[in-house]
A and B are shown apart, each in its own frame.
Chain A
Amino acid sequence: EAAVTQSPRNKVTVTGGNVTLSCRQTNSHNYMYWYRQDTGHGLRLIHYSYGAGNLQIGDVPDGYKATRTTQEDFFLLLELASPSQTSLYFCASSDIQGSNERLFFGHGTKLSVL
């Protein structure tokens, strides 16, 4: 089973603070994704990448940056955190996109912006 590890599991910051969420996958998957999960909105795609150095914009990118440093590592950056970014964040990976892609998710990071 594909392994996706996120850190930290919980994070509390203040409005205007800087936050970096980390994700590592160990299955040599090409695609990696950052989602946020909010009640009433389901899963919303923030950014994704199909390889080291590549970045694609998702559906809700405002206020977020992302960077894919290696095949394994994908980071989500909040440079001026706002309370509206309080959410549960998931990283996921997949071997392909489209067709019959299957996503493997991490356990999530719960972020609170006070």
Chain B
Amino acid sequence: QQKVQQSPESLSVPEGGMASLNCTSSDRNFQYFWWYRQHSGEGPKALMSIFSDGDKKEGRFTAHLNKASLHVSLHIRDSQPSDSALYFCAAIVGDNSKLIWGLGTSLVVNP
């Protein structure tokens, strides 16, 4: 079973709208969650990390972590066509601090 599960698999939002992506870890021994974004033809690029309960905001991006439920979400405000990409959640888990990747959410922002 995938230790880091992302939902939905794909998401379509209108330009200017809010995109919400979800990620859940099945391993309670996590240290950090990371969000990465991958545009077509490029490698993934780190967006932001979070390890404390609550919200972390960077520009139009807000990550929210609930440690009790092992759930992290990423909210993109005022979505732009340039936000269309594959978004990965990754968790650093375990005593050996291994990085575990989700399968990704494909986001399309329609002009």
A106 touches B43 (CB 8 A): yes
- The complex places the Cα of A70 from the Cα of B68 at a distance, in Å, of 43
Count of residues in A whose CB is under 8 Å from the partner chain: 21
Question: Once the chains bind, are B31 and A90 in contact (CB under 8 Å)?
Answer: no
**B12-41: which have CB < 8 Å to A?**
31-32, 34, 36, 41
Distance in angstroms between the alpha carbons of A24 and B35 in the assembled complex: 24
B interface with A by C-beta (< 8 Å)? 31-32, 34, 36, 41-46, 49, 51, 88, 92, 96-99, 101-104
Q: Which 4 A-B pairs have the closest CB atoms?
A: A98-B97, A105-B43, A42-B103, A43-B101
**Given pairs A97-B97, A99-B97, A103-B99, 12 additional interface contacts (CB within 8 A):** A41-B103, A42-B101, A42-B102, A42-B104, A43-B101, A101-B97, A101-B99, A102-B34, A102-B46, A105-B43, A107-B42, A108-B43
